[in-house]
Amino acid sequence: MIGTVLMERYRLEELIGEGGMASVYRALDQRTGHRVAVKFLRQEFHNNPEFLDRFRREATAASRMSHHNIVNLLDIGDDPKTPYLVFEFVDGKTLKEIITDQGRLPQTTAVQITIRILSALRHAHEAGIIHRDIKPQNILVDRQGYIKVSDFGIARMVGTNTMLDSEGKASVMGSVHYFSPEQARGETATVSSDLYSVGVVLYEMLTGTVPFEGETPVAIAIQHVQVAPKPVRALNPAVSQAVENVVSRAMEKDAKQRYPSALLMAQALHAALLAEKEPTQDTPVFPAQKAQEKRYASKRIKRRNRLLLVLISILLIAGLAFGGYYIYRDIVNGTLAPLLIAETEQAAIRLAERAGLNPKVERVSSDEPVGMVITQSHDLGFAMHRGDTILITVSSGPVRKPVVQVAGLIRSEAQRALEQIGLLMMVTSTVMDESPAGTVLSQTPEAGKEMEAGEIVQVVVSGGQISVPALTELRQQDARSLIAKSGLTLGALSSVEMEDPAQHGRIASQYPEANELVMAGTPVDLVLYVLPGTQTPVPAATGNGGN
């Protein structure tokens, strides 16, 4: 199919993906010069009503959405014999590939990615669409650091029934590692189901592993229903308690205990990042005598308070008798300023109007999400009159900033440099290079490119380049020491029997071999000569290769 031109417009260039249901090609839009992705339903499913229906549902769902964090539909094929959809082309990696390559991600990066996923889902949910298959494989990270949610192929329109298979039973859709408990039970997916899956994705980003594993899909599904996942901080102590709390609530077994919406979950994550420390409570300890004195003092205070309450009651009655009109006027006309900060613009306006106030909106650029209230003219609880104006300052979006040059810097220095201008860094790969280990070799986007605060700069980092020393014939202790000094690590230790006592404990062979170029930290496997009947020495549990 390479070279085929569709609709006299899209020229197929390369097959870039193939799944159980569809094949995806990169194509050139000859009208605009832009690259696009063309998704074809596989030939063997053209006469299968179930797969045709799923393909049409993806088109219907995609056509109802347009969002910067969603892979947007651009066109629909006009050939009924060969169904295909044209999407924007995302040049990058899946989130699953990044987690597989890098392991767990820094907390701030993981949370920012999750907020963008939630932004996409909020848009979908408001359009009446449940994704039902949120997983890292369906989250794309392009070379500019933008997050895109893809594959609404099994999305369900709110109000429709679960799709039935040929036997009349609810089909098991999605990926079982990210199933919500209700999906695992075969029930209809809801907004809350998508948020559970987002919680699992965040769990995996923070820990480098999915919460549940099993030998069969059924075994994993049962754990989603019955088993509590291991706490995030038990696997990654660097995660804050506030962020762990958000993950825990998102992954509640009872859907009613989860966040009611994608927006509220995103706001909770934003607040968790702002929380610098957990609140503490000090419990004072009093000597026995002081504690008794405190009880007597407490009784005196209570008696005094009762007398004051009687006097206040008398004064209130007198006030009602002689000035009821004025009190009534003040009560009816008085109100208190509500808390509007961190609310969306529309929610803040509703809260202000509910309090009887006249909200006036002004917009300023900030690093807060677009449409979020960042300041208000009157603090929470401020006494106001109904009809008064309360000024609401709303973020008009992050300030765009040029990316600084980080290629050539050590990884930690590069991360600090980007964080100082509000950008995040993600290591996409580590490669062997003559540069010192940890040196940033390249960055995407390049220096000078403008990005929004909170977006991600992807970097490739050097793993160093070390020549493996010759270790054969050395004694085990000397070989370990040389491995550590070379910047390598001790790998597997095995043995081969040798009758010569003089060779006992010496290195028989090594892997990688001497003078081979490898990255820093590469493990070196050793084979030792041992006398017959002697057990292989166990490597010392040290980080530098042993003694």
Cα-Cα-Cα-Cα dihedral of 42, 43, 46, 52, to 10°? 0
Cα-Cα-Cα-Cα dihedral of 75, 79, 81, 85, to 10°? -10
Give one word for 366, left, alpha or beta, with left for phi > 0 and alpha for psi -120 to 50: beta
CB-based contacts of 319, cutoff 8 Å, min separation 6: 327
Structure tokens at 377: 């003219």
Nearest to 153 by CA among 79, 307, 42, 78: 42
Structure tokens at 150: 């893809």
Residue 473: helix, strand or coil by DSSP?
coil
Say how many Å lie between the first and final Cα of the chain, rounded: 61
Q: Are 427 and 411 in contact (CB under 8 A)?
A: yes
* Cα→Cα distances 184→144, 172, 181, Å: 36, 8, 5
Cα distance between residue 252 and residue 236, in whole Å: 20
Q: Are 358 and 387 in contact (CB under 8 A)?
A: yes
How many Cα atoms sit within 13 Å of 486 on the Cβ side? 27
* Cα→Cα distances 159→210, 242, 448, Å: 31, 35, 48
Beta strands 507-511 and 456-462, pairing class: unpaired
In degrees, to the nearest 5, what angle opens at C-alpha 215 toward C-alphas 210 and 221?
60
- Is residue 173 exposed (0-12), middle (13-18) or buried (19+ Cβ within 10 Å)? middle
Runs of H (alpha helix) within 227-261: 232-235, 241-250
Residue 83 Cα to chain centre, angstroms: 34
Cα distance between residue 326 and residue 346, in whole Å: 35
Q: Are 464 and 433 in contact (CB under 8 A)?
A: yes
Catalytic residue among 79, 133, 142, 151: 133
* Cα→Cα distances 485→3, 282, 436, 526, Å: 55, 49, 15, 16
* Cα→Cα distances 39→19, 21, 30, 306, Å: 10, 10, 17, 77
Active site residue 133: yes
Q: Are 28 and 82 in contact (CB under 8 A)?
A: no
Cα distance between residue 255 and residue 269, in whole Å: 19
CB-based contacts of 503, cutoff 8 Å, min separation 6: 529
- Identity of residue 304: R
Catalytic residues: 133
